[in-house]
Structures are given as structure tokens and as C-alpha cells.
Amino acid sequence: MRRTPKPQAGPPQALRCEYLQNPIGLDDAQPRLSWQVSDTRRGAVQTAYQIVVATSIDLLNVEAPDVWDSGKVKSNVTAHIPYEGPRLKSRQRCHWMVRVWDANDVATPWCAPQWWELGLLRQRDWAAQWIGLARGPAESPLIPCPYLRREWDVRGPVTTARLYVTALGVHEITINGKRVSDAAFLPGWTDYRKRIPYHTFDVTALVREGRNAIGAILGTGWYAGNLAWLKQFYGHQPRLLLQLELTRADGSRQRLVSDNAWKTATGPLLQSDMQMGETYDARLEHPGWDLPGFDDSTWRPVETDPLLDVPLDAHAGPPVRALTTLPARSLSEPVPGRYVFDLGQNMVGHVRLQVPAGLPAGTELTLRHAEVLNPDGTLYTTNLRTALSTDRYLTRGDDERWEPRFTFHGFRYVELSGVPKAPGLEAVTGIVQHSDLAFTGTFTCSHPPLNQLQQNIQWGQRGNFFEVPTDCPQRNERLGWMGDAQIFCRTACFNADVASFFTQWMTNVVDAQRPDGNFTDVAPDVLDPATNHPAPGWTDAGMIVPWTVYRCYGDKRLLDRHYEAFKRYIACLVQRSPECIGPDDGYGDWLQVDTFTPLDLIATAYFAHSVDLMARIAGVLERHPDVRRYTSLLRRIRRAFQRRYVTPDGRIVGDTQAAYVLALAFDLLPDAQRADAVRHLVHQINDGRSTVWPYHKRAGHLSTGFLAVDKICAALADGGRLDLAYKLLLNEDYPSWLFPVKNGATTIWERWDGWTPEKGFQDPGMNSFNHYAYGAIGEWLYQTVAGLDLADDGAGYTALRIHPRPPPPGPDGKLPLTQAAATYDAPTGRIHSGWKIDHGQFALDVTIPANVRATVTLPGATRTAVTETGVPLTEADGIIRAWDDADGVQCEVGAGKYRFAWRLTASKG
């Protein structure tokens, strides 16, 4: 009898549905499934897969599932496989499993059962009404927070309970005194005039037979609070929309909705505003208000409103949560009675206050927040502009611990006043909040300041990926600035899994698109269209971000969903660019140092780049006529750029670092002029002078602002000046990436000179100390210093390029770096590239996930001199092919762990 060969691979792992593990409340009736191949053998691949879907685990029979069986599909694809079974309905739960076949056509075991559950797909599925406090004049956003409650009876045991909930504002929901979620600031931020996101929660464990109570607290949030320099931009009073659906053991159903049966009152939350802070009077608490049996006879009926004519969509991104705590490290008293705690890290969130014992009821404790200190040790808050960032707590007179609910601040330092004597360090703890992203990337090297820079970049991302990608988290702004997002997007994708975060945000971007097709400067858009003219480099985020997400996660559906919006945007650019030259307006290379890059040049460069991406997107989606159309347009723009801005010797109008970097990065120059442009760029870095008095010499320093900061090192390295790229990276004097690090920064600054020893603080009107844009150099740390990147034509990390480019020796003959390593948890699995140079011996450790191939460059090596795990390269297992070229040795390898070693004879970078 023929025996079936035993599988040598494990069941698929890291199973996801629409980027989520076992998601609840999806509103996509054709969700996509993804997994990773679990096979440690070298060269491991997937050759086929089979998916089965059923209505229950019991019916998840691999022979005859009752919903869908894909059958054996010959394919190596592991991501975004669409469900193709019968049409799904609201509330439906589907259970699924997958198995795959390896190169020997041996099937793996089935994975453990997974599931997804749909939310309310149709507006008519909602039976609830909007409820809240009766509307008053509400001339100020600083209003008491409404408390709302309802009791009801449940007859018989409950098998499932689902809560569908949203708010105009932000909400916190409890059932029988317990919170339904640890997420904060729900339902998130959107243009509430265009769509309102909702969330679904499994609350089966919270509902019980007999009497139950449900409670809600509402805050003004982005909807009715202070928003940037605006007040109550979308509305004046927060509102709740809630639908609780129960299924009992006998199959009967019960529904409870927000309606006129609810009651409301105000309470201890006297005000809660994201910018101004929160005031809480613990003497006004309603003990047991969200439990059955509470006496609500003095509470008033709610005011009700019908459903709005606005789509209710399931929120697709990760919610904000409290994810880390930071204990206070030190305490000072710069002014009598004002105690300043240092948390050691610029962070975003709020403080947990442990009230000192013995304070009488009604004692007012005040918490103020700041990123940095004045020279005298007091809080520097001038850069917060009108944001007070002040929380107040009035004690009830017993053992008390308190955290704000509906406000957040950007801060490292906390000032506590109102206590009679110095408190202990335990009085203040930082509660770090941000969108709940899985951090996926690490970078380390032998140069400690660069390691601190990487930490600063990641902390900047934590603080500003707060429901939307904000510019800053502390002053009266905190907007989803598009230019910052597109510059930082590639670095963000290395640091964390931002696929669903940017997927959600792109809905805001497209919702904000102007009638003429232009994207906006911020999303959600709160700028006055009568006075705001969207800027090149900012609006282009509408193209750059989804393309970057596609490249990093392989998500074609994101491109397809917004394809018509992309076309409208390109049509707008064509209309705004006579003779293919962009308009002379915009923000320019924002915060460039003592220089000026022509605005029309920047506009034309980004016009070309967006059209280039449009052609690529059309190719991915197989829109072949559009590929030809946009490729032809791109050629015309390039010719126009060259005629208008480029001299025969490769000099570019403006003669700035940004001008050369954009032209090189966006491939706007003929091949014959690229070397000349690099030469002029080098001159601008080394010998160029500022255009502002006192006309100082650059002397090997940056002058770029936001729009070129992510590209300058790559332009130099690709142009043969890796040495100068590293000089810029490793500079520690102004302006440079390491200047803030040298001066104690723990996040990325908005300005190169946010603070200097000579001048102190920059203009307080715009001087954030947590502003991630300049952290876009992070992608170069991963891609070039450590050498970990996508293949040029790859998407979703199915094909890799491993090409570390260590720095050449400095003037003293020593290597500025002797080792560097990056690890990235890609959609396909963990990738690693780490190198070390020790006494002329180069070692490179590489990990390639199953079902992935990579081209590995071994700099300065020859095939005959290289070993792999102690074996000559020519004899090593897993090496598909290897060849010598000008950079060293190129190896094409399959999945597996490799250790290459060779004697370093030359490194051409």
C-alpha cells in the first residue's frame, strides 16, 4: 500500500481577515483572507492552497463545508484572497480554515479554526435614534459631559450579545458597571457630514438574566470640541447611537436601542476637551449609576433625533488605546507649590493621578503638561498656543486615583499644584495612548546616537498616529496634514503595521476631495476652501500613501476602491498645469533652511510623480489604455520640466538641495544629466551658501525642508556619494538629524533648530517637539544602512532586496559604523538583515521567510571568497544562483536563514 508522505511544514500561521485576527463587525461582504507559510526548510514555497468556510465550527467539515470550499487552488499567493462563496448577510459569522501544499505537493495540516463576523451592512438594519442632552445655546465647547442610562430585563439565558455603537463626539459605554472596551476616543475622527464610523462589540459576557443596566458617557471630542483653531466645527452637542442585539438560548431575539426611554444627567465631568483638558469634580459622582436599581428619578429624558442621511460605516482602523505606562523619573519644585515631574520621554496621552492621602474633600489639584522646560525649570508652554493642556481634579476626600477620559496631551513634563507638600514620584504616571498598531520593525547599529534617533522616530509615530496621522499632538492644531503623512509613510510602514490605519485614513482623504478633483492639505478637511488653496506635495499624499500601502502590503483593493478619485485628481493637476508646468503656489519645501526652492518647480515635480504613480497603479489594475495615457502624459511633463528648469550642464533652477533631490528622486532628468545634477547637489551641500544673511556656507549640512528630507541620502548614495550621505546622517551640529538627539530630544522636532544653545527656543507660533516628518530618514536606515527592502518590482514583501551599504572609512581611517541590523515582521513573515565588520571580516546574517525569494548583495566580495554557514558559496544549499558584479556578489536565494562571510577587499557602496 502506498503511504502518504508526512508533511514537513506546519499549518499556516498569522491568519488574518482584512488585516485583523477574528474580526467582528466587518462591513465588507467579500472579505479577504491572508496567512503566512510555516515552513523552516530552505527554499520553502507554497504551491497551492485550499480554504473552507462554514457557518459554525461543527460544520467546518473539510469534506463538505456548508458555505464555501475553494478547492485546491494552484497558487503561491498568501495575502488578500477574497471570499468567493454565497453572498453574506448582516451579522453573519463565518468560520474558516486553510491548508497549503509545498514544493513536493505535500499538504500541511489545516490551521486552527478562525472566524469573521459582519456588522450592519445596510442603513435599514439600524433601528436606533440619536440621543443626548437637550440642546442649549452651547456657545462654548467646554460643557459638562452627558451621562446616559437605561435599564431592561432579559428573560432566559443569552447565547450571544452584540453592541453596535457610535457617537457624534466620543463615548464610553458600560454594561452592568463594566466597560465594553478598553479602546478610547471611539468612534474616532471623520468628516461626520460625509460618514460616521461605528464599532461592534461582543458583550455576551456582560449581559445576564434578569435586570440589566447600560450606561454611556459622552465627550465633545473632535465633533463639538476645540479642533485646531476652530470651535464646534461639526456640531454643538455630542450624541449617541446604540443598538444592542441579544440572542437567547431558545433562539428568540431581543433588541435594545437608543431612544426616548433613556434618561440623562450631568455629573463629575464638568468639561472634557482634547486641547483644553478635563475638569472632574469627584464630589458630583453618581455611585452605581450604570448598575441595575440606581435611582434615576432626578434624571431627565433624553432628546432624540432621527438617523442622519449619512452612511454608517464600520471603522476599519485600529482604535486608540492606552498601551504603555511611564513612571516619573524625577521631581523638582522650581516655584513654591508647583511640583514638576519628568517622565523621561516625550509622550502622548494623559496622566494617572494618585491623589496624596489626607486631602479634604473639594481640594483642587491641577495638572499642566509640557514637552520641554524653561531654563528656570518651569514648564515651557508658549508653543502650545491656545491649547491649555490642563486637567483639574477636585477630591472627594478618600483614597483616590483618577485618569482623564476624553482628553490627551503631548508632554514629557507634568506640573502638579494644589498639594500641601511635595508628593512622591508615584503620584504621577504617564499613560501612553496611540492607535493600537503592532510595531513590526527594529533598527540597531554600533552608533548609539543613531539608535536614539530610531527610538525618537518610533516615539514620534506613536504620538502622532492617533486615529489619523497628525502633524503634532500638543498645540491647538493636531490635524491630519497630508504632506507630513506622505513623506513619512514609507518609514511608518517599516516601524509598524499601518495597513488598516492608512486604509481607514484614505477614506477621509477621498471624502475630503474637492469638487474640482483636488485633494486637500489636511484630512479630515477643516480648512476653509474659500481661503485655502491645496498645496503640491501635500495633495499628492492622495496618490503616494495608497501606492506605498500597496507596495508594502500588496493591497490592490485599496487602489481599485479609490481609482476614480485618483483619476479626478490627475485631471485637476492637468487643468492647473498649463503646458505641463505646475502652479506657482503652495507651502514649498516647508521649513527649508535659509533657502528657497521655486514653488512651480516643486509643483511640476510632484505633478510628474503623481502621474508616474497613476500609470503604475493602472498597470497593477490592468487598466491598459490608462497605462498608455498616463505614460504619455508623464513623458510630456518630463520634457516640460527639463525645458523650464534644467540647464545643459545639469544645473536646476533654484540651485537648491531640494530642487536636485526631487529631480533625481522622481526621475525627471535624462540619464546623461543625472551625474551633473548629483555634482551640483554635492556642491550645494558642501560649498553652497544660504540665501539669507549672513550667507553662511553649508559646509556639509542639510538645507532641505519636509519635501526632500526622505530622499536626499538615497539620491546621494545612488549617485555614487555614499560617503556624503553618511556625513549628513551622522552630523551632530545644526542642521542635522542628530542635533536634537545631542540636545536631549526623545522625539523628532518640527524644526531643525527647535532649540539651540545659542538662541534658545524657535518661534513659539510653530515649534512642536513631536513632529514626525523629519523622521522620514528612517526608511534609509532600514533600506540602505541595514539593507532590508522590497525588490524594485515587488509588492507585499514576496520578493526582497537585501543590500547593506556600510559607510566608507572616515578621514581617520576608522569606520563610522561597524555593525547594523534590521528586523521586519512583513506580511509574509519575519525578515532580518544584519551585518558586522570586524578586522576586515564581513559577516551578513539574513533571514528570508517561507514562500519568498531575495536578491542579496555581498558588498566588496567575490564568489570564491564567500562562505555561507561555513560552506563555500558555490556549494551552499538554498543558493539559487550567484554572480559577480560591480557592487560585489549578487545571490538569489530562497527562504531560510543564511550567514555569509568574506574578507572585505573593497566596498563600493
Residues designated as active site: 477, 750
Residue 796 C-alpha cell reads as 507585499
Hey, how many other C-beta atoms are within 10 angstroms of the C-beta on 182? 10
- Distance CA(72)–CA(101), nearest Å, equals 9
Backbone phi and psi for residue 513, each to the nearest 5 degrees, phi listed first: -55, 135
Q: Are 840 and 892 in contact (CB under 8 A)?
A: no
- The amino acid sitting at 228 is A
Residue 144 C-alpha cell reads as 459638562
Q: Are 788 and 824 in contact (CB under 8 A)?
A: yes
- Distance CA(467)–CA(461), nearest Å, equals 12
Element (H, E) at 849: none
User: What DSSP string runs through 601-618?
Assistant: HHHHHHHHHHHHHHHHHH
| Angle of CA points 313, 309, 28, to nearest 5° | 20
Q: What are the E-state strand segments in 203-275? A: 210-219, 226-227, 230-231, 239-248, 253-257, 263-265, 269-273
- Distance CA(833)–CA(823), nearest Å, equals 7
Hey, how many other C-beta atoms are within 10 angstroms of the C-beta on 198? 24
Q: Three-state DSSP class for 631?
A: helix
- The amino acid sitting at 512 is A
- Distance CA(448)–CA(453), nearest Å, equals 9
Q: Are 728 and 712 in contact (CB under 8 A)?
A: yes
Which residue(s) pair with 241 in the sheet? 166
| Backbone Cα Rg of the chain | 29
- The amino acid sitting at 141 is P
Backbone φ/ψ region at 802: left (φ over 0), alpha (ψ -120 to 50), beta: beta
Residue 658 C-alpha cell reads as 531640494
Residue 660 C-alpha cell reads as 536636485
Q: What stretches of 23-177 show up as alpha helix (H) in DSSP?
A: none
Q: Are 417 and 365 in contact (CB under 8 A)?
A: yes
Torsion of Cα atoms, 359 then 363 then 368 then 374, to 10°: -70
Element (H, E) at 678: helix 671-686
- The amino acid sitting at 386 is T
Residue 729 C-alpha cell reads as 546622517
Torsion of Cα atoms, 633 then 639 then 642 then 643, to 10°: -120
Q: Answer positive or negative: Cα dihedral of 405, 411, 416, 422.
A: positive
Residue 44 C-alpha cell reads as 520553502
Backbone phi and psi for residue 143, each to the nearest 5 degrees, phi listed first: -120, 155
Q: Look at residues 407, 387, 542 and name the one whose alpha carbon lies nearest to residue 475.
A: 387
Task: Read off the DSSP letter of residue 584.
Answer: S
Residue 850 C-alpha cell reads as 517561507
Q: Look at residues 222, 292, 391, 384 and name the one whose alpha carbon lies nearest to residue 765.
A: 384
Residue 192 C-alpha cell reads as 461626520
Element (H, E) at 545: helix 541-553
Residue 227 C-alpha cell reads as 479642533
Q: Answer positive or negative: Cα dihedral of 663, 665, 669, 674.
A: positive
- Distance CA(277)–CA(391), nearest Å, equals 5
